[in-house]
Amino acid sequence: MSNILPEYTIANMITILFQNTIEKVPEPTEPSEPAEPSEPAEPSEPAKPAEPSEPPLTPPTNRERELVRENKHLKEQVENITQRYVEVKLELNNMTVRYWEEKDQDIIQYMTAETERDRCAEERDKFARERDQIAEERDKLREELETLKVDLKIYRTGFQTKEKETAQYFQRMRGAQEDRDIYRKNYENICKKYEEMTKKRDQCIHANQDLQSQRDQFRRLSHETARELDDAKRHCGEELFEREPPITYTQEQIQRDDIPGIFLCPITHCIIQDPLVDREGNSYERNAIIKSLQRDLRSPITRTTLYPATGYLSPNRILEDAIQKWLEEH
């Protein structure tokens, strides 16, 4: 910022002001010479003896008084200059803070403008590609219309020549009437085709407009769906699927009667091979709880809402290690 002064300029200003105040102090004037004493008059009466008294105090000279005033004046100026220096220093710090805050805001605005410009450039490229496709289709339609116009002109010229020939050689060329009817039919067919092509062109224009509106609607729905999916992923985590248990037990180990109840799945009532635990601390067999949640998104025990995702179900390594240790010991 232009109004921020560096520190060395402020210091130089203070020294210059101090020197100016010193230079402006008036020089002490030399004391004037004492006047010569006049001759004393003759006393009319005899002088009385003087009483003894203390020696008189010498009053301060004018030079000393001026020096005292100058010293006070210099002290006041130094105090004012130091106070002004502190105020300028604080104002300089505040202006520096405001400058960097405005600089940060400018950087943030520049970054947002860059991202907005990139997004607009991508959309512009998409619109340009779509515009080129529409232009190609329009050029094709134009070429077809031009060919139809040429054919129409050819048929018109042929029809006119045929009419002239039939008018001139009506008696000698009886078949000219049939040819004329044929050309008329062809002309009508071409006119119909031309009208159909114009209708198709209008339909293509309306279809293009409908496609643009559907594209905008689909883009808006895709953005909303992506946002909802992101919210769901942040809320629920990744989805869990069925899989083969990492450790398979034998049929004898599964059908044992002395298995503790905490090692049994509350759904299958068999020993748990791949345990998952919910937020409430209930453990289940992985494939059994996923199948149950595919039918009903509620806990089989507490009937609270439960989703087959990592945010609600997590592997129970402690239970898995405890089951393996118990089977090894028994």
Looking at per-residue confidence, does 241 or 326 come out higher? 326
Contact assessment for residue 265 and residue 272, using Cβ atoms and an 8 Å cutoff: yes
What dotted CATH number matches 251-329? 3.30.40.10
Contact assessment for residue 26 and residue 63, using Cβ atoms and an 8 Å cutoff: no
E strands within the chain?
A: 275-277, 283-285, 314-315
- Binned at pLDDT 50, 70 and 90, residue 38 comes out as very low
Q: What is the pLDDT of residue 258?
A: 85
Contact assessment for residue 276 and residue 316, using Cβ atoms and an 8 Å cutoff: yes
pTM to 2 decimals? 0.33
Mean pLDDT of 112-136: 89
Q: What is the pLDDT of residue 318?
A: 92
How far apart are the C-alpha atoms of 98 and 277, rounded to whole Å? 54
pLDDT of 56 strictly over 70: no
- Binned at pLDDT 50, 70 and 90, residue 222 comes out as confident
Say what percent of the chain tops pLDDT 90: 7
Task: Compute CA 305 distance to the chain's CA centroid, rounded to the nearest angstrom.
Answer: 35
Q: Which of 124, 130, 128, 120 is nearest to 209 (CA)?
A: 130
272-317, pLDDT tens digit by residue? 989 999 988 999 999 999 999 888 888 999 888 888 888 788 899 9
pLDDT of 57 strictly over 60: no
- The string over 14-40, giving b where at least 16 C-beta atoms fall within 10 Å of a residue's C-beta and e elsewhere, is beeeeeebeeeeeeeeeeeeeeeeeee
Mean pLDDT of 69-97: 87
Looking at per-residue confidence, does 210 or 28 come out higher? 210
Q: Phi and psi of 43, rounded to 5°?
A: -70, 140
Q: What is the pLDDT of residue 253?
A: 81
Token output for 100: 């960097």
Start-to-end Cα distance in the chain: 82
Which range is least confidently modeled, 53-62, 98-107, 215-224, 251-260?
A: 53-62
- Binned at pLDDT 50, 70 and 90, residue 1 comes out as very low
253-269, pLDDT tens digit by residue? 877 888 888 889 999 88
Say what percent of the chain tops pLDDT 70: 77
Element counts in the chain: helices (H) and strands (E): 6, 3
Mean pLDDT of 77-101: 87
Looking at per-residue confidence, does 326 or 179 come out higher? 326
Q: Spell out the alpha helix ranges (H) of 43-61.
A: none
How far apart are the C-alpha atoms of 185 and 160, rounded to whole Å? 14
Q: Which residue has the tokens 């279809």?
A: 207
